[in-house]
Structure 1
Amino acid sequence: MNGFGLRLRGLMRKEFLQVWRDPSSLAIAFAMPVFLLLLFGYGVSLDAKQVPIGLVIEQTSPAAREFAGGFEQSDYFAPRYFANLPEAEAALLARQINGIVHLQSDFARRLQVNAPAPIQVILNGVDANTARLVSGYVQGGWDKWLAAHAERNGQAGNRAVQLEARVWFNSALRSRNFLVPGLIAVIMTLIGALLTALVVAREWERGTMEALISTPVTVREVLLGKLLPYYLLGMGGMLLSIGMAVFLFQVPLAGSLWVLLLAGTLFLLAALGMGLLISIAAKNQFVAGQIAIIVTFLPAFILSGFIFNIDSMPPAVQLITHLVAARYFVAILQTVFLAGDVWEVILPNALALLAMAAAFLALALWRAPRRLE
């Protein structure tokens, strides 16, 4: 083995020993992914299920009972009956229910004479997202019931246009299938950026950077010796996350595992480069950790499309998201998991990750200390 290989092996062995002696590094690499995946997989949901809703039926009739029965049989609603509208409004103000469906006393009579039979829907708009979902569910339930009612009365042929919806890629509309793949990008951001943000700063704080600089090793060897162990930790955390996503949370993996691993390598190199650059600039573990959270974790959580739709953001913020590496990785993850190997999405985002990885690693190499100041 030549001198380069011996020196690199020694530096990697030193870094692996440091990781082994520091339980927090192993916790971030392996325990944190499990915790975050369990938290978001089971505790966070964008689905509106068993939404408490009030039903006010002023005059009972077969049509009214049939319409109300649709809410009772739905997984989306947990209906409560109220004798009158003021009682339901009081429950809505007390946040005991999220909406009210009101059938007036002439509902059945209007249906019999083919007159308009309006249904009043009152929603709690404090949580705008839930209000929109409930409104859509009520509208869908009403359309479905109306079609069935028209068919029973021989009026189905009067409907010139019929809407048939087809949901691609996530037919069950499970938010978990959307959240868990995106969470892998956040996890790898923490593993890559937060851990490496401490490695060079740790050397400065402990006074061992002077000893490293005085040895025959080059700056490239020092950085490579620090990158490789954390790259292996990051890929191990990614494999653990993918395994939990597929086998525990039943998220479908429509694409290739190798595409995921290659994209994960590109993203991890970008995250490692960001962490190294922060560590070199900060020279203090506490400061480096705080900067890493603000500069890498928060943008990955908020501006990557992991939870919040980028197209709904203001144009200026959308421009800023192009500087967030997690944006490109989240797009690849969600595409490969749910849609498959769609190269029109994968290739542009992979090239962006490659460019960002090269830029951050080059900056880290340029800023790396070559002599004592």
Structure 2
Amino acid sequence: MPHNTDILILGGGLAGLRAAWAAAQSAPKLRVSLATLRPVPSGSSFANANGQLGMQLPQTDRERDQFFQEILSLAEPGHISRPLAEILVQEAESRFLDLDSLGLRFQREATGKLLRRTACFSPHARAAILYDLPHAYQRLCETVSTLGVDLLTGLETVSLLMDNGVARGAVLRKAGVGTKAHAMQDASMEYRARAVVVALGGPAARHPRHMAGPGSTGQGWELLQAAGAQLNNTDFLQYFWLNVETRQFRSPAEIAGPLAVAMTPDGREVAPSAKVLSLADARSGHCPAAWGPVPHQGELVHDYGMDQWLQAQANEKGVVRVKVDRNPWEQVALFVHSGNGGAVIGSHGEVHDLNNAPLPGLFACGECTTGMHGANRLGGAMVTATQVFGRRAGNAAARFALGA
């Protein structure tokens, strides 16, 4: 027998919880259900390797203009929707205040004043830093539970239920069930709904070397595409250089810098050229390798030359042996951090089909969507996007469900 609800939200990260919060507030008489894989802090939202998250927080017109211009300058060679970027910028502060009102823990000065820092690709101290992620998860779960949201834990999304292009729910299965056909069939359950919000995160976990938190499946893009969604910017993944053994971040400005040497696969020691070294200052301004030129001191710089030099020394497994100054040799490699592509959405999170028309009843938010940034994104911009478009998708799903 199928399970029935009014609004089904898939994913329990920052985007999914924000969508559930908005949907339950907008339509308190409707049943809102949120399905998530793990009943504990997980995924890139609440169990990332850094233990904290940045959130872009422009607070003045000048800062909002800077934020918007930086988004545009980083978009190439990807596609960007200016209306979505404008919404992200204009609503960023309000969505921060929502989280702050719940008592989430952001870094502050001794006086209590909010502390803002620079983030990847931006020289401006504009990002609020959220720490104690388990506490953030607890507070958001308490908030949606108080509003009456059903938290369905231990469930993995198998597919979206579509009827002639209209979303009708999803097929879920108990977490940990294998892939054999009979086991999947026995454990699968239909959850039918008037509206569906997909917030299943990005594709990082699909790759052998990745930085996604535990509980990430990387299946969001795949499920949306199978449902008829139009995808864009899917070639643009964010890669970090990490030490293979410790999984600590290693900046190319150091491991391809003036004190570094690399070992080629055939055993030769090589040092970076003067051209590569000239990029170190620009490359130190961001963790992920960039797609295309990035702004640096008023100019556009192709600083991925440092990443290319490292890749040129990699063995068949993609691993590079490097040594900095008198430190021991170490092994580094590129790890997928996140994706900048995903489903094409409208201003309220409505998912578009291949003809650029909305798929009725299907909404999405978070890292499984794109448009509010292009090939590259500013540090902290995704957390802001989860809140801005999570709220919008939740509200829109409630409106749709009320009229369905």
TM-score by length of 1: 0.20
* Higher relative contact order, structure no. (Cα contacts within 8 Å, ≥ 6 residues apart): 2
TM-score by length of 2: 0.19
Larger radius of gyration: 1
